[in-house]
Amino acid sequence: DGGITQSPKYLFRKEGQNVTLSCEQNLNHDAMYWYRQDPGQGLRLIYYSQIVNDFQKGDIAEGYSVSREKKESFPLTVTSAQKNPTAFYLCASKSSGSEQFFGPGTRLTVL
């Protein structure tokens, strides 16, 4: 089945540690996205990538990094520089002219 997967579903991290969230899609989509969602809030764009080996900062990129070495994969690293990383992280992909398809999300908690 085609789709977009994120792992893990729940993630706990100690303050000061970097952590990488996985996002994989087999939809053959060119564009991929990372959003952050805080309780009761909308989605805020962290990074997006329109094509392999290229990505752009969104509105809240500070403290995060990404890579796009393969079309199928767009991992997000939450670094220790991110002051308030506890949130729900959503990955999405789309092809040109279509809507975004979202993964199930990763809930990150910093202890």
Partner 1 sequence: GQNIDQPTEMTATEGAIVQINCTYQTSGFNGLFWYQQHAGEAPTFLSYNVLDGLEEKGRFSSFLSRSKGYSYLLLKELQMKDSASYLCAVRYSSASKIIFGSGTRLSIRP
Which residue ranges make up the site for partner 1 (CB under 8 A)? 31, 33, 35, 40-45, 48, 50, 56, 58-59, 88, 90, 94, 96, 99-105
Shortest distance, CB of residue 105 to partner 1, whole angstroms?
6
Give the separation between CA 14 and CA 91, rounded to whole angstroms.
23
Shorter beta-carbon distance to partner 1: residue 80 or 88: 88
β-strands 106-110, 87-94 pairing: antiparallel
Q: How far is the CB of 77 from partner 1 (least distance, A)?
A: 21
Helix (H, G, I), strand (E, B) or coil at 26: coil
How does DSSP classify residue 73? Answer: B
Closer CB to partner 1, 17 or 50, in the complex: 50
3-state secondary structure of 93: strand
For partner 1, the closer CB: 17 or 57: 57
